[in-house]
């Protein structure tokens, strides 16, 4: 029988969202004390953990050292239990290497690396549960972790996917929507300046529609930004209260 | 608010997968009622004061049907009387997964503003969402969801003073669900109860589908048929080889026989005979069935007996008598035979036909006889039998219980009086599955808004050719002008020829409702007095039609050629043109021929004509075939639109001029898209016929001392050219007509799925259709491919998916075939009308074929073909000798060869109103006891004396 109806005539998606709505985002910063920065984020059922170390001295081969800026070292992995079927290899497969590369490109564009010449910043991200938009969730988690580590960035990097179904752009695709195989793109944006840190597109999309899908994706990124900013502010509030308590004591 | 749905799923590898999906619940889903004060809604659909007079429910009310009501009673829901219906998401989803055609019809209802159907997204509404309880199955959960939503509505409406009196009524045929609903305080009726309560509209009752409970079936009466096995058992049986799966094809001539074409590649048991009512076991034509082979001693042969079902009772004994007759009939080779054990998929559609009124007065149960002979009679219930008698009606099948001789169905609608032109046209469109409903609102919404102008955006990737002297040449009265031409001398002495084709793909964007609809229609269908458009009229007759003196978007193919029509270079580009003249073939011919006309258009036409002649000669030298088939045009009476005269189409030089350039454009484009997309090009091929196909042509020519060579297309073309018979000029045409019959069908295909591209008839290694995008969907795809190839438009995923292209080819090949059949049927019907008005005539004709007991005669004057039978039911036996080798047929002492001239009497046989036909009888040569001696003058209206109707 026909597959799922991804967008009903009444304008609702399979999970009940409207075209431009994001999944529910929940996030916490500073979840690991021993790391320099860390964050945990849930976007719907996609859950990711990001940990940041650095900036610190170059580890291993010194040949990769850069004299004018810091090296950004990323690693993307998926927990063996993150998908319905157990994954054999958590990282190192083609998909993960690609994701790793994408993350590296994204954060090299966002972190003010020139402030830390001859050093290294490590960003480790792991998908704990995968339900669509893995890359985007990782970017958002890493942004929070980098902020938690106190590493200066040009701006937040916010990412969201967008697809195109029934002549309508959809924001923040879930796994079901991704699996349908329609055109989709992932956008990482620096929301204040509207600069694109990374744009990746899967399958073909008609040129006529690109602008609309891009608009939907950047709107979604800005919505993500609003949530992340709120999380950061709340986290800061907590910290200052804690610090205030300590100084008072 | 967030909910998670968790469920288990089995994966392909057999593992069990736990799937968690998010499910959001919302507060902003509106009720859709116009009078509601609670919901903030922009576009409410349900009327403030729904009025439908029901004896069960005297107050205003909305209807809320459950899934089965939608699935089975869609015909009644489509009636304009029934309005203000709430469709729950739960119900829509169930319908979608169970029947795609019904789902599509419901979607159309939801789009129709007059019907006031509202879809309520109850599964995402915070107050109407339900979780499946422990031990509850999905069906029960859905029924509970439907009841919950009904209760919510009734509570919700109470909050608005204007709506306080409006009730929401649950319509369900499920006894348990209805009981539970009533317990919970919901007003619920069965569909039948409710429809019968609509006292002001008693005719609706006829359209109720009769849905039988399986239980009822077993209780009442004698069982005639064996039980159908459930699907799971069938699948097991097919896997193990106990049963065979195949397509059931009922016999047209014998209602007790059918064959099953077994699916798959095994050469053994490809075709299985099913004989006898019980073995047929309620399977109907085109159903996918499972058959079990009988033991070898029970195998049978196809009987050559003609049996029409004429009984009108459940009288099984008489059927059994007839079955015995089949068995004892012949004593030749037995073939694999079987019995139907189950139905894998029904392929029922609504059937056209006529009512055979019950003999019993006051009976409401009647038998319906479909026009298609392969379909059994269907029992329906109606109170309007007297009105419906003599009308063409449509009936849908509801089911076929084990204790019933005939399937049960219900009346859907009347098409009008049988024999009426409108009615018969409708019938032939329906019977050939030609989509001909008016375009839906959803489709029309993708049309450009009027007034339409060319914007700078449209001019992107497009060149301006408005300065060129472009003109179009078409048959008179043509409003969908696909193509226009120009030709001019360039400064360097060469010629520039342009073929400009309507840029339909500019307006029809991939994947939208308009595109889907045109893709499904596949082709415009031209009947004698009607055109069924593939695209809405605004495009076909206006924006895409390359009319004169208006700016139109085009896709141009421009060649530079020398005076010998050698192509020096080819260019494809999107353009904007302004045609200077829309000419008919005759007008164009007149311009070319009159020496004192020397304007740009005429000069252009002369150049084109000169080049076309060279091109044509070259093509024919290469072995292209010019075949003829008698095409007939009807001259219509301008008042009554009845045909008053027939005329075979006359071809002018300019016809062939336009054709030459269209062929050239098609070939050039085919090459270009294949070079660019070797895997996805949509092309057209014409396979060479197997040599045996030509046997009849060669034999026939030989019998007239002519030699036809068939080793190659070129040899065939040459020998046809030489085949002249002195004193018999029509001979050559006859041979060409016969050669046409030997040909294969040309078909569309995807280049990545095939390796034989050759077009035999045109003697071209590659070919496609580019020049008629207004009336053929193939051309739209070709335009899109070409546009991508020249960078004028962007691509989309389905365009570069060879399976998708192959699917499109499959559909358009089917639609083209059906369009041809319906055209033929339309010509046949108009021929009948013509002879009805004309009376009986004697006319000269030629024998096209000889058969065992008949000759097929072609009447050139009418382009009419008919069969003269020499063995008729009630006549005494005629002495017939048939020789397949020469071939000839000897009737008494007269011998008939192919192409012999004969004189026949033509009349209309209207004895069976559903199957009127032209009857031909031999007049000359005279054969005593065979030729007809009736005096023609006595009976000129061509109809038998009308039977007195039993009123
Ligand atoms: Zn409301």
CATH code for position B873: 2.40.50.140
- The answer to whether residue B787 sits within a structural domain is yes
Question: Is a pLDDT exceeding 50 seen at residue B949?
Answer: no
The rounded Å distance from CA B118 to ligand 1 centre is 12
Q: Residue B21: its chain A contacts at CB < 8 A?
A: 14-15, 45, 174, 176
pLDDT tier at B897 (50, 70, 90 boundaries)? confident
Are residue B671 and residue B797 in the same domain, yes or no?
yes
Q: What is the 3-state secondary structure (H, E, C) of B781-831?
A: HHHHHHHHHCCCCCCCHHHHCHHHHHHHHHHHHHHHHHHHHHHHHHHHHHH
Q: What is the pLDDT of residue B331?
A: 55
pLDDT, greater one: B706 or B782: B782
Q: From CA A215, how far away is CA A212, in angstroms rounded?
A: 5
Residue A4's closest CA among A151, A131, A176? A176
Are residue B806 and residue B888 in the same domain, yes or no?
no
Question: Is a pLDDT exceeding 80 seen at residue B363?
Answer: no
Are residue B591 and residue B458 in the same domain, yes or no?
yes
pLDDT tier at B814 (50, 70, 90 boundaries)? very high
Side by side, which strands form the sheet with B864-869?
A: B864-869, B854-859, B841-850, B901-909, B917-924
pLDDT, greater one: B816 or A63: B816
- Reported as a single tens digit per residue, the pLDDT across B396-427 is 888 888 888 889 888 888 888 888 888 888 88
Burial class (CB in 10 A: 0-12, 13-18, 19+), B896: buried
Q: From CA A165, how far away is CA B712, in angstroms rounded?
A: 51
Q: What is the pLDDT of residue B424?
A: 86
Q: From CA B820, how far away is CA B71, in angstroms rounded?
A: 33
Q: What is the pLDDT of residue B948?
A: 35
The residue from B199, B228, B252 where one domain ends is B199
- Reported as a single tens digit per residue, the pLDDT across B167-212 is 999 999 888 999 999 999 999 999 988 998 888 888 888 888 776 5
Report, as an integer, the average pLDDT of B446-474.
90
Q: From CA B302, how far away is CA B327, in angstroms rounded?
A: 9
Q: From CA B323, how far away is CA B319, in angstroms rounded?
A: 6
Burial class (CB in 10 A: 0-12, 13-18, 19+), B284: buried
Count chain A–chain B contacts defined by CB atoms under 8 A: 74
pLDDT tier at B673 (50, 70, 90 boundaries)? very high
Are residue B627 and residue B672 in the same domain, yes or no?
yes
Length of chain A: 249
Side by side, which strands form the sheet with B894-897?
A: B880-883, B888-891, B894-897
Residue B608's closest CA among B568, B664, B651, B649? B664
CB atoms within 10 A of CB A86: 9
Question: Is a pLDDT exceeding 80 seen at residue B123?
Answer: yes
pLDDT tier at B762 (50, 70, 90 boundaries)? confident
Interchain proximity B22–A174, CB inside 8 Å: yes
Q: Residue A167: its chain B contacts at CB < 8 A?
A: 511-512
Are residue B140 and residue B250 in the same domain, yes or no?
no
Are residue B650 and residue B564 in the same domain, yes or no?
yes
Question: Is a pLDDT exceeding 50 seen at residue B942?
Answer: no
- The answer to whether residue B299 sits within a structural domain is yes
- Reported as a single tens digit per residue, the pLDDT across B76-121 is 898 888 999 999 999 999 998 888 888 888 988 998 888 899 999 9
Residue B578's closest CA among B692, B486, B515? B486
Domain with B388, as residue range(s), is 210-413
Protein residues placing their CB within 5 Å of the ion ligand 1: B 31, 36, 38-39
- The answer to whether residue B791 sits within a structural domain is yes
Pick from B8, B16, B17, B24 the residue to mutate for testing the A interface (most A CBs within 10 Å): B24
CA distance A166 to chain B (A): 8
Q: From CA B738, how far away is CA B715, in angstroms rounded?
A: 16
Question: Is a pLDDT exceeding 80 seen at residue B582?
Answer: yes
CA distance A11 to chain B (A): 10
Q: What is the pLDDT of residue A21?
A: 92
Q: From CA B275, how far away is CA B259, in angstroms rounded?
A: 8
pLDDT tier at B744 (50, 70, 90 boundaries)? confident
The rounded Å distance from CA B158 to ligand 1 centre is 10
Longest dimension (CA), chain A: 68
Please state which of the ranges B383-387, B591-595, B907-911, B942-946 shows the lowest mean pLDDT.
B942-946
Interchain proximity B24–A17, CB inside 8 Å: yes
Q: Point out the residue among A12, A24, A84 whose CB comes nearest to the CB of B2.
A: A24
- Reported as a single tens digit per residue, the pLDDT across B619-662 is 888 878 776 555 555 555 555 555 555 555 556 677 888 889 99
Are residue B356 and residue B492 in the same domain, yes or no?
no
Q: Point out the residue among A2, A44, A204 whose CB comes nearest to the CB of B100.
A: A2
Q: Residue B124: its chain A contacts at CB < 8 A?
A: 12, 16
Are residue B867 and residue B933 in the same domain, yes or no?
yes
Q: What is the pLDDT of residue A52?
A: 96
Q: What is the pLDDT of residue A85?
A: 66
Are residue B162 and residue B231 in the same domain, yes or no?
no
The tally of domains found in chain B comes to: 4
CA distance B796 to chain A (A): 5
Burial class (CB in 10 A: 0-12, 13-18, 19+), A102: buried
Question: Is a pLDDT exceeding 90 seen at residue B498?
Answer: yes
pLDDT, greater one: B311 or B424: B424
User: For residue B524, which phi and psi values (nearest 5 degrees)?
Assistant: -80, 140
Report, as an integer, the average pLDDT of B889-903.
81
**Spans of all domains in chain A:** 19-245
CB atoms within 10 A of CB B398: 22
Are residue B109 and residue B128 in the same domain, yes or no?
yes
Q: Are strands B880-883 and B864-869 parallel, antiparallel or unpaired?
A: unpaired
Helix, strand, coil % in chain A, rounded to nearest 5? 35, 30, 35
Q: What is the pLDDT of residue B169?
A: 93
CB atoms within 10 A of CB A106: 25
The helix or strand, by DSSP H or E, that contains position B534, with its residue range, turns out to be none
Q: Residue A24: its chain B contacts at CB < 8 A?
A: 2, 22, 24
ipTM of the complex as predicted: 0.88
Burial class (CB in 10 A: 0-12, 13-18, 19+), B43: exposed
User: Inter-axis angle of helices A134-148 and A94-110, to 10 degrees?
Assistant: 40
Helix, strand, coil % in chain B, rounded to nearest 5? 35, 25, 40
- Reported as a single tens digit per residue, the pLDDT across A34-74 is 899 999 999 998 999 999 998 998 887 778 888 899 999 99
Quickly tell me which residue has 């069969």 as its tokens.
Answer: B867
The superfamily (CATH) of domain A19-245 is GHMP Kinase, N-terminal domain (3.30.230.70)
CATH code for position B370: 2.40.50.690
Q: From CA B858, how far away is CA B850, in angstroms rounded?
A: 12
Instruction: Quote the tokens at residue B406.
Output: 């005939």
Q: What is the pLDDT of residue B117?
A: 93
Are residue B877 and residue B927 in the same domain, yes or no?
yes
pLDDT in tens, chain A (249 residues): 346 788 888 889 988 899 999 999 999 999 988 899 999 999 998 999 999 998 998 887 778 888 899 999 999 988 888 776 665 665 567 888 888 999 999 999 899 999 999 999 999 999 999 989 999 999 999 999 999 999 999 999 999 999 998 788 999 999 989 888 788 899 999 999 999 999 988 777 777 788 999 999 999 999 999 999 999 999 999 888 888 766 554
% pLDDT > 90, chain B: 27
Interchain proximity B100–A1, CB inside 8 Å: yes
Are residue B775 and residue B896 in the same domain, yes or no?
no
Report, as an integer, the average pLDDT of B380-405.
85
Q: What is the pLDDT of residue A215?
A: 93
CA distance B122 to chain A (A): 10
Burial class (CB in 10 A: 0-12, 13-18, 19+), A211: exposed
């Amino acid at each position: 029988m026909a597959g799922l109806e991804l967008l009903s005539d009444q304008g609702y998606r399979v999970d009940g969202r409207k075209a431009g709505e994001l999944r529910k985002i929940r996030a916490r910063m500073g979840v690991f004390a021993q790391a320099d920065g860390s964050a945990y984020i849930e976007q719907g059922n996609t859950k990711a953990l990001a940990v940041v170390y650095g900036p610190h001295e170059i580890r291993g081969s010194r040949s990769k050292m850069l004299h004018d800026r810091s090296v950004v070292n990323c690693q993307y992995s998926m927990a063996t239990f993150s998908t319905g079927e157990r994954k054999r290899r958590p990282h190192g497969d083609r998909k993960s290497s690609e994701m790793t590369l994408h993350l590296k490109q994204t954060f090299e564009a966002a972190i003010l690396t020139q402030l830390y010449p001859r050093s290294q910043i490590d960003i480790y991200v792991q998908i704990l549960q995968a339900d669509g938009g893995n890359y985007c969730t990782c970017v958002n988690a890493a942004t929070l972790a980098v902020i938690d580590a106190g590493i200066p960035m040009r701006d937040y990097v916010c990412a969201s996917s967008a697809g195109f179904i029934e002549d309508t752009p959809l924001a923040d695709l879930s796994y079901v929507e991704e699996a349908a195989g329609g055109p989709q793109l992932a956008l990482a944006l620096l929301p204040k300046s509207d600069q694109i840190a990374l744009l990746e597109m899967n399958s073909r999309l008609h040129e006529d529609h690109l602008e609309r899908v891009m608009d939907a994706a950047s709107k979604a990124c800005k919505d993500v930004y609003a949530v992340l900013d709120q999380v950061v502010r709340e986290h800061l509030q907590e910290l200052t209260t804690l610090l205030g308590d300590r100084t008072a004591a | 608010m967030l909910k998670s749905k968790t469920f288990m799923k089995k994966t392909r590898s057999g593992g069990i997968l736990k799937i968690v999906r998010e499910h959001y619940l919302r507060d902003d889903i509106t009720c859709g009622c116009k009078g509601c004060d609670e919901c903030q809604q922009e576009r409410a659909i349900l009327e403030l004061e729904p009025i439908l007079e029901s004896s069960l429910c005297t107050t205003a009310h909305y209807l809320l049907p459950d899934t089965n009501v939608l699935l089975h009673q869609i015909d009644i829901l489509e009636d304009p009387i029934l309005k203000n219906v709430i469709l729950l998401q739960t119900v829509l989803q169930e319908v979608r997964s169970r029947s795609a055609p019904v789902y599509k019809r419901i979607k159309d209802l939801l789009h129709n503003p007059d019907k006031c159907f509202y879809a309520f997204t109850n599964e995402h509404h915070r107050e109407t969402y339900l979780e499946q309880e422990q031990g509850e199955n999905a069906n029960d959960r859905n029924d509970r969801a439907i009841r919950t939503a009904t209760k919510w509505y009734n509570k919700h409406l109470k909050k608005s003073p204007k709506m306080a009196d409006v009730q929401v009524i649950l319509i369900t045929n499920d006894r348990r669900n209805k009981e539970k609903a009533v317990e919970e305080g919901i007003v619920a009726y069965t569909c039948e109860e409710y429809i019968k309560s609509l006292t002001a509209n008693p005719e609706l009752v006829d359209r109720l589908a009769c849905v039988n409970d399986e239980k009822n079936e077993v209780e009442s009466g004698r069982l005639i048929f064996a039980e159908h096995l459930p699907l799971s058992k069938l699948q097991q049986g097919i896997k193990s080889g106990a049963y065979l799966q195949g397509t059931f094809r009922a016999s047209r001539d014998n209602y007790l026989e059918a064959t099953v074409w077994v699916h798959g590649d095994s050469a053994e048991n490809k075709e299985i005979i099913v004989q006898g009512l019980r073995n047929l076991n309620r399977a109907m034509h085109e159903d996918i069935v499972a058959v079990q082979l009988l033991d070898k001693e029970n195998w049978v042969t196809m009987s050559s007996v003609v049996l029409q079902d004429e009984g009108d009772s459940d009288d099984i004994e008489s059927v059994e008598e007839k079955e015995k007759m089949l068995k004892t009939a012949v004593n030749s080779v037995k073939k694999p035979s079987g019995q139907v054990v189950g139905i894998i998929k029904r392929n029922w559609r609504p059937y056209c036909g006529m009512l055979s009124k019950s003999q019993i007065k006051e009976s409401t149960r009647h038998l319906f006889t479909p026009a298609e002979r392969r379909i059994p009679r269907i029992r329906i219930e109606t109170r309007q039998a007297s009105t419906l008698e003599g009308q063409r009606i449509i009936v849908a099948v509801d089911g076929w219980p084990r204790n019933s001789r005939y399937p049960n169905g219900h009346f859907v609608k009347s098409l009008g009086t049988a024999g009426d032109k409108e009615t018969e046209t409708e019938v032939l469109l329906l019977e050939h599955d030609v989509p001909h409903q008016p375009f839906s609102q959803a489709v029309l919404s993708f049309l450009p808004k009027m007034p339409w102008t060319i914007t700078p955006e449209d001019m992107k990737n497009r060149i301006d050719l408005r300065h060129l002297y472009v003109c179009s040449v078409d048959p008179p009265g043509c409003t969908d002008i696909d193509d226009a031409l120009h030709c001019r001398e360039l400064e360097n002495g060469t010629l520039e020829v342009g073929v400009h084709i309507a840029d339909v793909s500019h307006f029809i964007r991939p994947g939208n409702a308009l595109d889907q609809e045109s893709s499904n229609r596949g082709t415009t269908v031209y009947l004698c007095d009607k055109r069924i458009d593939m695209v809405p009229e605004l495009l076909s007759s206006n924006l895409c039609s390359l009319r004169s003196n208006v700016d139109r978007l085009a896709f141009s193919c421009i060649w530079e050629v020398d005076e010998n029509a050698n192509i020096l270079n080819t260019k494809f580009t999107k353009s904007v043109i302004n045609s200077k003249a829309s000419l008919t073939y005759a007008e164009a011919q007149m311009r070319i021929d009159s020496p004192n006309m020397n304007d740009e258009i005429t000069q252009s036409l002369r150049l084109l004509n000169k080049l076309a002649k060279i091109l044509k000669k070259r093509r024919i030298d290469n072995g292209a075939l010019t075949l003829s088939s008698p095409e007939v045009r009807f001259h219509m009476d301008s008042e009554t639109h009845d045909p008053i005269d027939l005329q075979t189409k006359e071809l002018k030089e300019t016809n062939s001029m336009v054709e030459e350039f269209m062929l050239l454009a098609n070939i050039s484009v085919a090459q270009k898209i294949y070079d660019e997309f070797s895997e996805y090009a949509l092309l057209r091929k014409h396979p060479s016929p197997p040599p045996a196909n030509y046997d009849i042509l060669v034999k026939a020519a030989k019998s007239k001392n002519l030699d036809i060579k068939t080793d190659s297309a070129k040899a065939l073309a040459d020998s046809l050219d030489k085949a002249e018979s002195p004193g018999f000029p029509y001979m050559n045409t006859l041979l060409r007509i016969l050669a046409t019959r030997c040909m294969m069908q040309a078909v569309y295909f995807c280049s990545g799925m095939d390796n034989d591209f050759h077009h035999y008839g045109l003697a071209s290694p590659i070919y496609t259709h580019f020049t008629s995008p207004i009336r053929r969907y193939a051309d739209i795809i070709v335009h899109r491919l070409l546009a991508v190839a020249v960078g004028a438009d962007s691509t989309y995923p389905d365009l570069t998916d060879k399976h998708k292209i192959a699917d499109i080819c499959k559909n358009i090949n089917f639609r083209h075939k059906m369009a041809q059949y319906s055209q033929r049927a339309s010509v046949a019907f108009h021929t009948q009308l013509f002879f009805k008005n004309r009376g009986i005539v004697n006319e000269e004709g030629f024998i096209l074929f000889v058969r065992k007991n008949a000759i097929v005669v072609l009447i050139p004057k009418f382009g009419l073909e008919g069969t003269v039978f020499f063995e008729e039911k009630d006549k005494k036996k005629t002495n017939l000798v048939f020789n397949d080798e020469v071939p000839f047929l000897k009737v008494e002492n007269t011998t008939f060869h192919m192409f012999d001239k004969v004189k026949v009497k033509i009349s209309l046989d209207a004895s069976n109103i559903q199957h009127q036909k032209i009857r031909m009888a031999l007049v000359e040569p005279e054969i005593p006891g065979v030729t007809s001696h009736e005096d023609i003058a006595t009976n000129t209206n061509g109809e038998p004396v009308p039977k007195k109707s039993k009123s």
